Amino acid sequence: MAREYKILSPTAILGYGFPESSFLKGMEEGPDLIAVDAGSTDPGPYYLGSGQPFTDRVGVKSDLRAMLTHGVRRGIPVVIGTAGGSGARPHLEWCRALVEEIAREENLSFRLGLAYADVDAEVVVAGLHSGKVQALDGLEDPTDEQVRSCPHIVAQMGNEPLQALAREGAQVILAGRCYDPACFAALPIMAGYDAALATHLGKILECAAIAATPGSGSDSVLGILREDSFELRTLSPERSFTPQSTAAHTLYEKSDPSHLPGPGGSLDLTDVTFTDVGEGRVEVRGTRFVPTPRYAIKLEAARPVGFRTLSIAGIRDPILIASIQKVAGQVKARVDELLSREAVQGQVFFHIYGLNGVMGALERSDSGTAHELGLVMEVLAPTQEQANTICSLTRSTFLHYGYEGRVATAGNLAFPFSPSDVPMGPAYEFCLYHLMEVEDPEAFFTREIVTVDGARVTPGKEVGS
């Protein structure tokens, strides 16, 4: 095993961008791996359900170009996790097309490894019936019909499929939905480094400079694995790692501060130490990995629930502001009455910013009366036409509704945009957030090796399930 293993994390999510100076400083360190997390469920269910990326093509291609040209030409592996944003096959193929496009433009030759995360609906249905698929956090199980209605079902792969592709000669690896630390941890673990430390380092590197002070989602950082510790370095003079920022990010997105679950086991963080070693660097020790009795992976899926239309308005009348919840309820009732004679179905939601627009019913703040409010009118209906109809009626009813104490004779709402109603297209909701037991975490995921030689691409044969 080498004395140390250096990992360059260019940015928090592929497509967010990074300063060229930070990335080049990282390259001067001679990294053993360039890796980046490219996705998340954070932007909501639409992107997984629709198969669309949530990052822009221009931004993703720009980030990829820097990683591929420097990585391939210097013989440094490049690994991308959750390609395309949500990691289903259409997302992976979208990112693959960009990789091949860059290879043609830059005349790059390499072996491209693809790890698909897609799971057949019937496998999930069978798992629900057999008990091998179980809900997380007390969620209810979906019906068989709901599972089958999901356009894309993905499973978070761990290290094993990425390691298999590396053993098969892949120099660039695109993974579908992936456990966030895996794209950073898989190769150093294969090289003999401690799995707990590598995974903990990957947990931090997947968000790059967000874990530094001041944090940034678009800046590069370096992680250095050693036999019994790892070190974090920023690559911009504007930022530093501190014990507090590193420890805080270790707690990030976790319900249990001492344990981080993942495929095949969890990190025990009880005895971890964070030490300032000077010059904005932090050393981390003491992470342990605890295997689970049975290997399980997390399933994710989103199902279509209708079509959405939005209208956005501002409210400035203090009389209306003082009774906004009551008036909103009255407007809903009036819309229901007006639609009762028509075969138009749908739901109306009011999101009132300045009152409870972010937290909704969970809002506990009592900050007094606002001087203005932002109102988002949301309609969800079986068809786009129905959603448009209900939104139009709701908007016009609210605009001229005669609430108690009303003095103004003009409209109640100020619209910043014309047209005021925005059809949003299909709407989705998460349907699966479950754990599934698997016997072989490498064979479960389909893999493919593609030979890229500038303008020529030679596909390989898909292997695995």
Q: Are strands 78-81 and 172-175 parallel, antiparallel or unpaired?
A: parallel
Look at residues 297, 260, 293 and name the one whose alpha carbon lies nearest to residue 432.
297
Chain centre distance of CA 70: 26
- Give the pLDDT score at 409: 82
Mean pLDDT of 84-88: 97
Residue type at 121 in one-letter notation: A
pLDDT bracket for residue 2 (50, 70, 90)? low
Coil/strand/helix, residue 459:
coil
Percent pLDDT > 70 in the chain is 99
CA distance 333 to 323: 16
**Alpha helices of 303-349 — where are they, by DSSP H?**
318-322, 324-339
Domains present along the chain, CATH in parentheses: 5-117+156-295+438-458 (no CATH), 304-430 (3.30.70)
Residue type at 191 in one-letter notation: A
**CA quadruple 436, 138, 37, 35: dihedral sign:** negative
Angle between helices 20-28 and 57-73 (to 10 degrees): 20
pLDDT bracket for residue 356 (50, 70, 90)? confident
Q: Which range among 224-238, 245-259, 265-279, 393-407 shows the weakest confidence by mean pLDDT?
A: 245-259
In this predicted model, what pLDDT tens digit does every residue of 105-143 receive, in sequence order? 999 999 999 999 999 999 999 999 999 999 987 788 999
pLDDT bracket for residue 1 (50, 70, 90)? low
CA distance 53 to 261: 27
C-alpha distances (whole Å) from 424 to each of 270, 307, 388 are 46, 7, 10
Q: Which range among 201-210, 293-302, 365-374 shows the weakest confidence by mean pLDDT?
A: 365-374
Look at residues 216, 253, 249 and name the one whose alpha carbon lies nearest to residue 234.
216
As a whole number, the mean pLDDT across the chain is 95
Mean pLDDT of 403-422: 93
pLDDT bracket for residue 343 (50, 70, 90)? confident
CA distance 361 to 349: 12
Structure tokens at 313: 């308005």
pLDDT above 70 for 251: yes
- Give the pLDDT score at 294: 94
CA distance 187 to 202: 11
pLDDT above 70 for 329: yes
Structure tokens at 270: 């009880």
Angle between helices 57-73 and 89-106 (to 10 degrees): 60
In this predicted model, what pLDDT tens digit does every residue of 47-64 receive, in sequence order? 999 999 999 999 999 999
In this predicted model, what pLDDT tens digit does every residue of 142-190 receive, in sequence order? 999 999 999 999 999 999 999 999 999 999 999 999 999 999 999 999 9
Residue type at 122 in one-letter notation: E
**Alpha helices of 233-340 — where are they, by DSSP H?**
243-251, 318-322, 324-339
**Alpha helices of 29-142 — where are they, by DSSP H?**
46-50, 57-73, 89-106, 121-130
Which letter does DSSP use for residue 344 in this model?
A: -
CA distance 357 to 316: 16
